[in-house]
Amino acid sequence: MKVVYVNEDWCLGCHLCEYECAFANSGDTDMVRALKDKQIFPRIRVEDGANDVHFAVNCRHCRDALCVKSCIAGALSKTEGGAVVIDREKCVGCFTCVTVCPYGAIMPDSEGKAAQKCALCTDNLMGEPQCVKHCPNRAIVFEDRG
């Protein structure tokens, strides 16, 4: 299946993906209105390290995802295509998934009451992963690597 992959050699550390992710999932049509003066809670997060190393991390959509096996509510599941998705109506915010994800790629939402994660922009109106679309240096790609 197609998943978002990241190449740290190309990542500038600009964090634009975080803003595009927050905007894509805000439900708003205006980026300024959606994000200005607000703390953002993107589902993709950039790590910045020494020696100018930067990379973005989001859900790896594992084939045998531990988060799905660990969810006490049955809120996490795999789509037929293989993406890991969350039903936030069912999530009670126990964060067992946060405690088990080896990538640190699932996190409490802005209110801290349920978990949130990347669904490859299938759960918003964007139609394609916006972190990929807006990455200025093609450090983030959407590809089928098995």
List residues binding another protein (CB under 8 A): 3, 5-8, 47, 49, 53, 55, 57, 60-66, 69-74, 89-90, 92-104, 106-108, 112, 145-146
Measured from the CB atom, is 73 or 126 closer to another protein?
73
End-to-end CA distance of the chain: 6
Residue 65, burial from CB neighbour count under 10 angstroms (0-12, 13-18, 19+) = buried
Q: Closest separation between CB of residue 71 and another protein, Å?
A: 8
Q: Closest separation between CB of residue 27 and another protein, Å?
A: 22
Measured from the CB atom, is 37 or 89 closer to another protein?
89
Angle at 137 between CA 131 and CA 138, to 5 degrees: 60
User: Based on C-alpha coordinates, what's the Rg of the chain?
Assistant: 15
Q: Closest separation between CB of residue 20 and another protein, Å?
A: 18
Residue 4, burial from CB neighbour count under 10 angstroms (0-12, 13-18, 19+) = buried
Q: Closest separation between CB of residue 80 and another protein, Å?
A: 12
Measured from the CB atom, is 1 or 33 closer to another protein?
1
Q: Closest separation between CB of residue 134 and another protein, Å?
A: 18
Measured from the CB atom, is 31 or 110 closer to another protein?
110
Measured from the CB atom, is 36 or 145 closer to another protein?
145
Task: Tell me, rounded to whole angstroms, the distance of Cα 30 from its chain centroid.
Answer: 20
